[in-house]
Every structure is written in C-alpha cells, then in structure tokens.
Amino acid sequence: MKEFAALIKALDSTNKTTLKVSALAEYFNKATDPDKVWAIAILSHRRPPRPVNTTLLREWASELADIPLWLFEESYHIVGDLAETIALVAPPGKDAVDKPLHEYLQDMIWLKARTEEEKKEYLLTHWTQMDYYQRFVFTKLITGGFRIGVSQKLMTRALSQSTGIDEDLLAYKLMGNWDPSEISFRELILEEKEGDHLSRPYPFYLAYALEDDISSLGDIQEWSAEYKWDGIRSQVIIREEQLFTWTRGEELVTDRYPEFEQFIGLIPDGTVFDGEILAYDKGEIGDFNLLQTRIGRKNITAALLKKVPVILKVYDLLEWGGEDIRKLPFSERRNLMENLLNSPEIVKARENGLPLQLSETLPLDSWEAVAEARKHSRDMKSEGLMLKHKHSPYLVGRKKGDWWKWKVDPLTVDAVLTYAMRGHGRRSNLFTDYTFALWDENEEGGRELVTFAKAYSGLTDAEFRKVDAWIKRNTLERFGPVRSVTPHHVFEIAFEGIAKSSRHKSGVATRFPRIFRWRKDKKIEEANTLDDLKNLIP
Amino acid sequence: MNSPLLEFTDTGIYCSRADIYLDPWKPVKRAIITHGHADHSRYGHGAYITHHKNVPIIRHRLGEISVTGVEWGESFSRNGVQFSLHPAGHIVGSSQVRVSYKDEVWVFSGDYKTEDDGLATPYENIPCHTFITECTFGLPAFKWLPQEEVFKDINHWWSQNKSEGKTSVLFGYSLGKAQRLLKHLDTGLGTIYTHGAIENMNEVIREITHLPPTVRITRDTEKQELTGNLVLAPPSAHGSPWIRKMVPYVTATASGWMAFRGARRRRAVDRGFVLSDHCDWQGLLSSINASGAEKVICTHGYSEIFSRYLSEQGYDARTAETQYEGELAEMGNSSTEVDEETLAAGD
C-alpha cells in the first residue's frame, strides 16, 4: 500500500502526462501481480462495493478528529472530497503497519458483511496508523470514485510500457466484466485467451472534428457520408444467444434497453454493432432531452418504455460470424451490415416494430452536395455529418485521418462549470449565475481549465434547483459571493457571435452566451478546448 | 457613550472616539495600517500610521503619502484612546493594533501567524477583552507542518529538478511569501532568479532586512543560464508568455491553499507546497485562547464556521463583514490591484 500511496503522490506531483505515465509504468514494474490487478481495477473504476456508508465514515472521522460533526461537514463541503477531508482532519498517523494493496481490497470485501462496531474498529485502527497520503488513498478505496487525473488511456499506456504488450490490445483485454479478486495478472494481461469474451465490447473508434476545408479530403468517391446522430453511442453484442449493450463510457446498460432483446434470434450469434441509441416515436427521432429520461434510470417501467421508446441506429459492424472484422475496410463492413439489415426477415420485423435501423449513407457525388446535405442536418434530427473513408479499418480510440465529424454550424461548445454565484430576484437564494471553462493546453502539454463565459439562463427551474443543490455540496472555495466548484458538470453553451478579445482571459468574447443543455452524459474530459472555441471565430 | 470602542462600518474598522480607522477600504482622514498587502493598505487616506518597517513598503506601493512610522509597543493617544502596534508575524513590518480606552482593551490582529518565519518579527500575544481575528484558514482541515520540513521538501524538489536539467519555477506572492521563500532556499544549490515584480519588492525589503542575493530576470537574461536554477515568480506569471524562457521547467506554488489537492490541480502547477503566512486551525485557536479575550470578532475567511465553533467553545463570538481577502490574493483571485501591478512589472 505504501507503494501505491507513493504512486498517487507522484501522480499528484506533476501535471505532465509523460511523467504520470512513467510513474505508473514504474509502479507496474515493481508491484506484485495481485497488487497490479487491483491497481488496474481501481484506475479503470472497478472497485469492491462500498463497505461502509459515508454517513458512518463522517461520524467516525469527526470523532477521531475530535471535532463536532457539523464542523466536519462544513470542512467536507469546502474540501470537496470526503477521503481528502478525512485524511486532513484526522490527527497525524503513526505510520505503523502496512499491508499490500490487494489485502486492503480484500479487507473491503470482507468488511462489507461486518457489524457496525467491527467496521468502526477497523477504520479507526487503520486511520490512526497511516500518514496523510496512505490515509487519503485508503479512504478513497472505501468511498470510491478514484479520480486522480489519470485516465484509463494513460494507465493502459503505462501498462503497455511495462509489459511490452500493444496498447490497443491491452485496451481490449481490459474492457468488459472481470473480477479483480478472481482474475490473475497472467489471465488478465499476459495470456492469450478466447473463452470468456462473451460480453466483451471492442474499444470505440472516435472521430475528430473536421477542421480543414471539406475538399481537402480528396476524392469524394473514396468517402462515405452519413448523418451524425445525437444519442448514446453504443455497442450491441449478440453472442451465444445473449445480448449485451455497452455505452461509450464502458457502462454495461443491457437492462436499461430491454427493447433490444428482440434482436436475439433475428441477428445471428457472433455479431457486434456500433451505433447510436436514439429516442424514437411514431417514425420520428426524438431529441436528446427526451432520451435523457431513459439515461441513468435503473428502474425501467412499462410506462417509461411506452413514453420514450428507443431504437438502435447502426453504422458499423465490428464482428460478424464470431470474427473480429475491424480490419476490413469500412465499405466491406457496411456491405455486410446492409445485407443483414435489408434481409427480408429483418425488414419484415422492422415493419412490426423491431427497433433496429440502418444509419443510411448519403448518395452524394460532390463535396458541394455534402455541404448542402449538412445544412439539413437539423431537419434530420442530427447534429451534422460523419465522413468515413471507405477503406478505413475500425481503429481504437480517437484517431485522425479516416473518420471525421462535421457538425452543423450553431456556435456551441461543451464547457465545464467552474464557478457559481447566487442569482438575484426570485433566484436570490439559488446558485444560478455560472462561470464556464474550457480546456487549454499549457506549455508542458498538460491541460487546464480556462474561464471563457458566464451564463445564467437556459435551464429549467427544476434543473437550476438540481445544479444549486449540487453546487452547495461541491463547493471548493468561497470568494465572497462566488464559489468555485469541483469541475464535474459539462454544459453545452450556445452563443450568437464570437470575437477575439483582449479583455477576456480566454482571449475570446462570446455574444449572449446561454446554457443550451446540461450534458449529463459527458465527463469533463470530454468538454471542448479553448482552441475549439477559437476555431469558431470567423 | 454606548457605542463600542471599535465599530465595523462601510468604510472600515472605526474608532469613533478617536476618529481613526484601522485598515479602511475607503479613503479616510486618518488610518492605522497593519501591513502592506493591498487589501489592508489602500490608496487615498489623508494620513497613514504604521510600523516604521512597513513605511518603505507602502511608500513603494502607494507612492507619495503622508505616513508616520512608529515602533513596536510605542503608544500614542487621541481623545483618551491609547493605540499601540505589536508584531503580527505575518510579513515584514506587519502589526496587530492594540486599542484601549479606560479599562477596556481591543486587539485587531490584521493578518497574522504564530510560527516564527525567520523574517517577520514573531507574533506576540497581547492580552485583551475583545480580539478581532482573521480566519483565512479557520477550518480543521488546515494543519501546517513546521516550516523546516516544508523547506526541506522545497530544497529537495529544487535539487531533483536541477539533477534532471530543469529549471524550478516557484510561485509566491510578491510581498511576503517571496521573501520568506528566498530567505530559506538553499543558495548552495544554485542561483535564485526573480521576476521583476518580486525583485522590485526585494529591493524595498533589503532596506529593512537582509535577504540572500538574487538576479532579476530581464530581456537580456539568457535562457541557458537559468537551467537548473530557481526562479521566483508571482502567481500571475503562471501561464504567461514570460515563463516560456524557462523551458524546460517544473512549477510549484507555495500557499496554504495547497493543502487541498483540488486547489493545486486547478492552478495547474506540478507541485504544491503547503506554506502560509496565516495561522492554521490550531494557530488561530491557541492565539485566541492566549489572548484571554471573552469576545471574538471573526473577519475574513471561514468566519461563520469559525465563529460558530468558538461560540460552542464558550466564547462570545460573532462575525463582521470586511473587505480583506487574506490569502485569496495569493491565488490570483484578488480583486485588488496586486495583479495588475505584478503584470506591469513582469515585462
């Protein structure tokens, strides 16, 4: 555990990606196999279920720190992280015993079934024996949400450096369901195996936004264009008469979209689609807000299914006949998929409500026609066009060159909420005036959030109340009436005009910025960059 | 005469009997100034009274002003009210103000810290009935390590960067933090370079006390000579074009806020050293306890939380609104003129 805590401290001590990766790689070189498996699990957000609820953690920590509970709570509101607060307020530890990381994780699993007294005893004993970083990491293992500025991608890169195994292959091995307390490092990483891949999705291929003139892509005959759908990017897997639905966030959401169960039997085993889940009712694609009501809802009632039906709009085929066909050219994968979806059986089923549609390629023979089609994106309930090279294989992650997204024009960016102020008048007791930030690259290639606009309209009252409650719980610092909040929520900000400005820290002034929608589906890492914004300047 | 000895008005902390303000934020006729930070010593007062070590500092910041310097413990009176200044340990020349009338004693502590930093005259406990305290870091989450340990870390960081052929860029507020860092950096490791805003202030402080040698970075400074050495810069220099000359470099900030991981990440510095010129939680509690005060008035910082805790501990505690900002200024969030000043000096 000392080593893992030292790793977290090392990761905390730099903003440079290369140094983070080398600190991780060094850890993977030195750590024992069971510790490595758990480190991978933690950094890819797989943890044992929380063994102690946070109410008890707070009570016991305030007892240990000898402060009243309300004072602990206030401190927590300001620090913004429970594990960090506990690590800060507890008296300096004696740094007495240490166990390997995996033993602590086994403790967590064991602890879950203990009595409250046993849990308290365990926690107080361990808290008093640890120094700040150990205590922080240990408590983080309990509270979960191990976000420490290391993406799964960085972790995979470090693992690749340490093992010599290709990064894309590792990304694939780490996807899906695996249990860190069961699997060995050899099984997870080193062995080549086929057996337990039943539910495993492929890493998603992501497109960059088209920056240059469309004609720079060359011969239009080499390209395929289709509308870019604004739903939930998903992979649907049908293997051995079972169906699995994965979102791009690597969340297994099969149970939330029971409509897709109908595919079993109709779609042959050994098929994996890449597509978009869209709200769809009476032949119309619904907007994203409608789909929101399905996202995150674990309890899927018949009423909800009726109110917000969904379809899967497929645009790629990754596996066919049990074979990984990602290396085939896009046009061949499309052919296979079109043949399947246009087969009489499927066509008939679709007429009877099978929620499976093809994302049609647009028959366009000039870039002018493509540009014209893009203008109609909105009417098609899409957010622009996707341009895919006909020879492109299905790659891993965000890669430039073969796939481009060409979104429709409105000036909007996805920005991170960073500061909030109380509103006025009827909003006087609510935090409704927000400051938003975008990512900017600093000198060393790291990223930081830079303020770009303030906005205080565009959400419904109910949404404002939710954001307000969240702000009060996630305030980092108070500067008079202004609070800085944990960067966590992404909002799409729309604006009428944009110009360079020396008065603004970001170098950009926007006209009438307002909140377009709350992008609950996006993580802050996915927010736009300042360069994205500057690219909008005419 | 029922009004209290000191009142909190829209203009500042006011003693009506003596018609004198303490650290006022609007222009007044007569002001006693605790220290040179911009939120405590503002433009436009008719007459300034402060500790003599603070005189060159506020002259540097405010230009030609009418100012009287006094010595620690030197008492002066107006209309029967006795005033004297006592060391606050915050920065060079920083004072607490003792105000007494008949048998009643108030102390306005300004900004203060209890640890002897080797540069500012150490904090002195002044017994009083009413104690006006800041609470910049008035939360139990703030616990400072002894500065020896922090400087061991900072010097180790520097030597490590040096061994990797990198320049260490250390951010600290131009007045106070920068000189404290300078005083305790290991000059055996290399040369300490300074940003113009800090060097301007160093020149002022050198008239008052000894500081290790530094080299001002100018347009003529060669990129190569910086390698492996240390650069002291104000927080506002972070991310500015000025810093490009230091490549390859590693950044760090020294501030009490660095106790929070999020604060360090938001500032996008590589390292955060927890070092403050304000009291931590225990420092505040022990000073208040030692003052023997029954009444405590909590000003800037986590004042509501802190005064609630004091009330539970049996003090007659309350909060008062002021326009002091404490260490917020260090984080580049200040609304005062500090930022512009450092920016102007940066080129």
| Interval A210-238: pLDDT, tens | 888 888 899 999 999 999 998 899 999 99
Q: What is the pLDDT of residue B267?
A: 67
Chain B residues in contact with A451 by the CB 8 A cut-off are none
Q: Of A160, A204, A225, A480, which is closest to residue A367 (Cα–Cα)? A: A225
Under an 8 A CB cutoff, do B312 and A68 touch? yes
Question: With an 8 Å Cβ cutoff, is B343 touching chain A?
Answer: no
Question: With an 8 Å Cβ cutoff, is A16 touching chain B?
Answer: yes
- Closest chain A CA to residue B281: A89
Residue B101's DSSP bridge partners are B104
The predicted-structure confidence for A357-369, as pLDDT tens digits, reads as follows: 999 999 988 999 9
Helix axes A116-129, A132-143, angle to 10 degrees: 150
- A121: number of Cβ within 10 Å: 13
The predicted-structure confidence for A234-271, as pLDDT tens digits, reads as follows: 999 999 999 999 888 777 788 889 999 999 999 999 99
Interface of A with B in 448-477 (CB under 8 A): 448-449, 476-477
Evaluate if residue B340 carries a pLDDT over 50.
Answer: no
Q: What is the pLDDT of residue B2?
A: 65
Output the six-digit token pair for B209.
């006390």
Residue B8's DSSP bridge partners are B13
Q: Which of A70, A72, A442 sits opposite B239 (nearest CB)?
A: A442
Confidence of residue B156 (pLDDT cuts 50, 70, 90): very high
Give the E-state strand segments of chain B in sequence order: 7-8, 13-15, 20-22, 30-32, 47-51, 67-70, 76-78, 81-87, 95-101, 104-108, 130-135, 167-171, 192-194, 215-216, 230-233, 249-254, 271-273, 295-301, 316-319
- Closest chain B CA to residue A88: B141
Decide if A437 contacts A451 (C-beta within 8 A): yes
Instruction: Tell me the CB-side half-sphere exposure of residue B169, using CA atoms within 13 A.
Output: 24
Evaluate if residue B154 carries a pLDDT over 60.
Answer: yes
Under an 8 A CB cutoff, do A443 and B271 touch? no
Q: In Å, how far is A463's CA from the nearest CA of chain B? A: 26
Confidence of residue A496 (pLDDT cuts 50, 70, 90): low
* Across A457-461, A524-528, B145-149, least confident range: A457-461
Question: With an 8 Å Cβ cutoff, is B328 touching chain A?
Answer: yes
- % of chain B at pLDDT higher than 90: 79
Question: With an 8 Å Cβ cutoff, is A69 touching chain B?
Answer: no
Q: What is the pLDDT of residue B182?
A: 97
Between A450 and A510, whose confidence is greater?
A: A450
Q: Which of A79, A446, A479 sits opposite B141 (nearest CB)?
A: A79
Q: Which of B239, B262, B333 sits opposite A479 (nearest CB)?
A: B333
**CA atoms of A340 and A269, how far apart (whole Å):** 13
- Can you give the C-alpha Rg of chain A in angstroms? 25
Q: What is the pLDDT of residue A410?
A: 64
**CA atoms of A392 and B1, how far apart (whole Å):** 88
- Closest chain A CA to residue B250: A14
Q: Give the sign of the dihedral formed by CA A80, CA A516, CA A449, CA A7.
A: positive
Q: Of B272, B268, B336, which is closest to residue B300 (Cα–Cα)? A: B336
* Every domain range in chain B assigned CATH 3.40.50.10890: 147-273
The predicted-structure confidence for A299-345, as pLDDT tens digits, reads as follows: 788 888 998 999 999 999 999 999 999 999 999 999 999 999 999 99
Q: What is the pLDDT of residue B327?
A: 63
> Across all residues in chain A, what is the average pLDDT?
88
The CATH classification number of B7-141+277-332 equals 3.60.15.10
Under an 8 A CB cutoff, do A476 and B262 touch? yes
Residue B272 Ramachandran class (φ > 0 left, ψ -120 to 50 alpha, else beta): beta
Evaluate if residue B100 carries a pLDDT over 70.
Answer: yes
Best residue in B135, B139, B250 for a mutation probing chain A (most A CBs within 10 Å): B139
Confidence of residue A423 (pLDDT cuts 50, 70, 90): low
Best residue in A8, A12, A15 for a mutation probing chain B (most B CBs within 10 Å): A15
Q: What is the pLDDT of residue A300?
A: 83
Evaluate if residue A407 carries a pLDDT over 70.
Answer: yes
Decide if A362 contacts A171 (C-beta within 8 A): no
Backbone angles phi, psi at A252, to 5 degrees: -85, 115
Question: With an 8 Å Cβ cutoff, is A22 touching chain B?
Answer: no
Output the six-digit token pair for A349.
């089923």
Q: Which of B142, B262, B302 sits opposite A486 (nearest CB)?
A: B262
The predicted-structure confidence for A53-72, as pLDDT tens digits, reads as follows: 999 999 999 999 999 999 99
Question: With an 8 Å Cβ cutoff, is B312 touching chain A?
Answer: yes
Chain B residues in contact with A477 by the CB 8 A cut-off are 257, 263
Pairing of strands A508-511, A497-500: antiparallel
Q: What is the mean pLDDT of residues B8-19?
A: 95
In 3-state terms, what secondary structure has residue A523?
A: coil
Chain A residues in contact with B263 by the CB 8 A cut-off are 476-477
Q: Measure CA of the first residue to CA of the last residue in chain B; give whole Å.
A: 55
* Every domain range in chain B assigned CATH 3.60.15.10: 7-141+277-332
Q: What is the mean pLDDT of residues B204-218?
A: 95
Q: Which of B259, B265, B309 sits opposite A149 (nearest CB)?
A: B265
Question: With an 8 Å Cβ cutoff, is A65 touching chain B?
Answer: yes
Q: In Å, how far is A85's CA from the nearest CA of chain B? A: 7
Decide if B101 contacts B81 (C-beta within 8 A): yes
* 3-state helix/strand/coil string of A230-250: CCEEEEEEEECCEEEEEECCC
Report domain B147-273's class: alpha beta
Evaluate if residue B215 carries a pLDDT over 90.
Answer: yes
Q: What is the pLDDT of residue B326?
A: 66
Decide if A405 contacts A207 (C-beta within 8 A): yes
Confidence of residue A98 (pLDDT cuts 50, 70, 90): confident
Nearest-5° angle of CA A70, CA A72, CA A75? 110
Q: Of A95, A122, A120, A128, which is closest to residue A1 (Cα–Cα)? A: A95
- Enumerate the H helices of chain B as residue ranges: 55-62, 147-163, 177-184, 196-206, 223-226, 261-267, 281-291, 303-312, 338-345
**CA atoms of A377 and A405, how far apart (whole Å):** 12
- Closest chain B CA to residue A441: B239
In 3-state terms, what secondary structure has residue B180?
A: helix
- The ipTM is 0.89
Evaluate if residue A403 carries a pLDDT over 80.
Answer: yes
Domains located in chain A, CATH noted: 2-143 (1.10.3260.10), 205-407 (3.30.470.30), 412-534 (2.40.50.140)
Chain A residues in contact with B265 by the CB 8 A cut-off are 15, 149
Evaluate if residue A22 carries a pLDDT over 90.
Answer: yes
Place of tokens 């413990």: B73
Decide if A251 contacts A334 (C-beta within 8 A): no
Backbone angles phi, psi at B147, to 5 degrees: -65, -25
Q: Give the sign of the dihedral formed by CA A113, CA A114, CA A119, CA A123.
A: negative
Between B164 and A502, whose confidence is greater?
A: B164
Chain B residues in contact with A441 by the CB 8 A cut-off are none
Q: What is the pLDDT of residue A289?
A: 62
* Across A26-30, A145-149, B11-15, B21-25, least confident range: A145-149
Report which DSSP code applies to A409: S
* Across A34-38, A175-179, A486-490, B163-167, least confident range: A175-179
Question: With an 8 Å Cβ cutoff, is B270 touching chain A?
Answer: yes
Question: With an 8 Å Cβ cutoff, is B25 touching chain A?
Answer: no
Under an 8 A CB cutoff, do B259 and A88 touch? yes
Chain A residues in contact with B257 by the CB 8 A cut-off are 477
**CA atoms of B342 and B345, how far apart (whole Å):** 5
Question: With an 8 Å Cβ cutoff, is A100 touching chain B?
Answer: no
Evaluate if residue B336 carries a pLDDT over 70.
Answer: no
Chain B residues in contact with A72 by the CB 8 A cut-off are 140
Q: What is the pLDDT of residue A193?
A: 61
Q: What is the pLDDT of residue A489?
A: 95
Decide if A467 contacts A515 (C-beta within 8 A): no
Q: Please name the helix (run of DSSP H) or strand (run of DSSP E) that holds residue A22, with its range, or none.
A: helix A17-30
The predicted-structure confidence for B219-275, as pLDDT tens digits, reads as follows: 999 988 999 999 999 988 887 889 888 999 999 999 998 898 877 766 678 899 999
Under an 8 A CB cutoff, do A477 and B261 touch? no
Evaluate if residue A203 carries a pLDDT over 60.
Answer: yes
Chain B residues in contact with A86 by the CB 8 A cut-off are none
Question: With an 8 Å Cβ cutoff, is A446 touching chain B?
Answer: yes
Question: B199 Cβ partners below 8 Å, 6+ apart?
Answer: B214, B216
* Across A31-45, A158-172, A415-429, B259-273, least confident range: A415-429
The predicted-structure confidence for B42-57, as pLDDT tens digits, reads as follows: 999 999 999 999 999 9
Chain B residues in contact with A68 by the CB 8 A cut-off are 309, 312
Under an 8 A CB cutoff, do B141 and A89 touch? yes
